[in-house]
Amino acid sequence: MTGYRKNRLLILGNGFDVDLGMKSRYSDFAKSKVWQEKIENNALMLSRNGLLRALVEAKDKDAWFDIESTMMHYIRKQEKQEKQEELHEAYGYPLASTDREEYQVICSALKEYLSEESETFHMKNTSVAESAFKDLMDVGLFHKIYTFNYTKINDVAERLDVQAQPEVCHVHGSLAPDDDIILGVEGEQIIPEPYKFMYKSSSRYYRSNNLYEDLNSANEIVFFGHSINGMDYVYFRHFFKVQSDDEANGYKRKYIRIFTYNNDSADDIKYSLRENGIQPNKLYALNNFDVILCKDLENGDKFEMNKYEEFKRDISRMSTSAIQIIANRL
């Protein structure tokens, strides 16, 4: 079955962990004891009016703040201030060295929080993520998981008693003892040299991956809990561009399912696609494409339940087809 499995991908975002029951949002981190002890109570660093204070102020303004977006906004603010100071011949990004120290404190605190949360969280009774993950893994057809989460997917699989586990790639690092989380900005963003430490690729734990090639060659792709926007969109830009243009080099009709929280998050994904020049109607027309709303599914919405049942039938057909192909080769 290996040859048949090689064209199927599962891509996970933070919505997967949240649907399982983890409090893994940045907003959850900002409410934690770790945040209070390592961030809010760090009087020395907060007095510098640098990166750490910018995060605290962003959290106070917006409970749903995003750490990486706040970092990017902070860098742009420093850049603007630097240009103003150049006029007075007083420049050099004076906060960069202490910001690097504060950046390391943030990464360390986030890893500490998520390590504890991933070990102690209680699984939701109505988790769509649990059901979908079991359904996908039980048929043994998905050869690779790309997760943008720091949490260890193998630990999740063990808790769910899932035996068949494909290869896993942690795009942004992980909580594993021999690994680290990778937090910051993507390489296509141009930032001042003194802040180059915030590039994700600057991390010594940053690794190459085959996501670009795997998306191109895959026949079936399932996204679960990934917002497909912001800094991470760079990973999918080429894929969605090709899949929305039947004249593009490399286009072929694919099976694409996106599991997201609700209609608002689905609208956000489609808006992000439009912002990047992708028409969702083209994705529907040129692929077997659909979006499944987890909240409505949990609430027993018949329309979403029918879509999920269709999804399970599709997975079952994949398994049957794979077995038939193997039988024909014998």
Q: What is the mean pLDDT of the chain?
A: 89
Place of tokens 């192909």: 325
Q: Which two tokens stand for residue 231?
A: 């800094």
Q: Dihedrals φ, ψ of 257, to 5°?
A: -125, 135
Predicted pLDDT of residue 3: 45
Sheet holding 255-260, edge to edge: 167-170, 144-147, 8-12, 220-224, 255-260, 288-293
Mean pLDDT across the stretch 110-124?
95
| pTM given for the model | 0.92
Predicted pLDDT of residue 63: 77
Q: How would residue 17 be classed by pLDDT, with cut points 50, 70 and 90? A: very high
**Residue 327, pLDDT above cutoff 80:** no
Window from 20-24, 145-149, 187-191 with minimum mean pLDDT: 187-191
Predicted pLDDT of residue 6: 53
Q: How far apart are CA 111 and CA 47, in angstroms?
A: 24
List beta partners, residue 260.
Answer: 293
- Where exactly are the structural domains of the chain? 2-22+125-171+209-329, 26-120
From 78, 68, 82, 69, select the one nearest 99 (Cα to Cα): 78
The tens digit of pLDDT for each residue in 235-256 reads 999 999 999 999 999 999 999 9
Q: How far apart are CA 32 and CA 22, in angstroms?
A: 13
Predicted pLDDT of residue 278: 96
β-pairing, 8-12 vs 288-293, is unpaired
Top pLDDT among 5 and 149 is at 149
Predicted pLDDT of residue 162: 85
Predicted pLDDT of residue 4: 46
Q: How would residue 261 be classed by pLDDT, with cut points 50, 70 and 90? A: very high
Distances 210 to 9, 143, 216, 218, 258 between C-alpha atoms, Å: 11, 13, 10, 12, 20
E strand or H helix at 167 = strand 167-170
2-22+125-171+209-329 CATH fold: Rossmann fold (3.40.50)
The tens digit of pLDDT for each residue in 37-80 reads 999 999 999 999 999 999 999 999 987 889 999 999 999 999 98
Top pLDDT among 313 and 110 is at 110
* Count of C-beta atoms within a 10 Å radius of residue 254: 20
